[in-house]
Every structure is written in C-alpha cells, then in structure tokens.
Amino acid sequence: MDLTAITNLAFAGIAVFGAVLGVLAIAAWRRAPSRRMALVAGGFWLIAIQGVVVGVGLFTTGLDAPTLLAISAAFEAALLVVLFVATLVR
C-alpha cells in the first residue's frame, strides 16, 4: 500500500474520531451547559477539521510536506490554547 494512501486513511480516521468525540461533547454540554465543556467540544472539532484539511491537502492539492506540517502544527497549537483555557483559566 502506498504511503500516501496510508496517510490519507490515518487522517480520515482522525477526522471521524474527532467528530464523534465532538458530537459526544456537544451532547454532554447540552445536558449540563458549561463554558469548559463547550471549549472541549470545540477542541474535538478542531481535531476533526484538521483531519479533513490535511487529508484533502494530501489527496487533492498535492501540497508539499512542509506546508501540510505547518497547517497541522497550527491546528495543534489552536487545540492546545483551547485546552489550556478550558482547564486552567477560571
């Protein structure tokens, strides 16, 4: 199997898993609304969007590895900020 196909499959799996966790977090937020749970749900959706964007970037546009790495790093940095705010900021 081609490495690109494996990478696309991995990012598709990440996107689906992030979306499932995002839906579960939104359901939890609807039962007991809190700003922290909303931020956690947003973090899961960031991961889902990252999987889609990087997967599409690999599959259709043929972006080079440094560009995709920069995009992925930006999503991960945003996720770290969201999780920091959700857990440590009052």
How many residues does this entry show for the chain?
A: 90
Return the sign of the alpha-carbon dihedral for residues 54, 58, 60, 64: positive
| pLDDT at residue 33, as a whole number | 92
**Residue ranges of domains in the chain:** 3-88
pTM: 0.83
Could you read off the pLDDT of 5-62 as tens digits, one per residue? 787 788 888 889 999 999 999 999 999 999 999 999 999 999 999 988 888 887 787 7
Main-chain dihedrals φ then ψ at residue 58, nearest 5 degrees: -70, -40
Confirm if 66 and 30 have CB atoms less than 8 A apart.
no
Q: How far is CA 18 from CA 1, 46, 68, in A?
A: 25, 8, 19
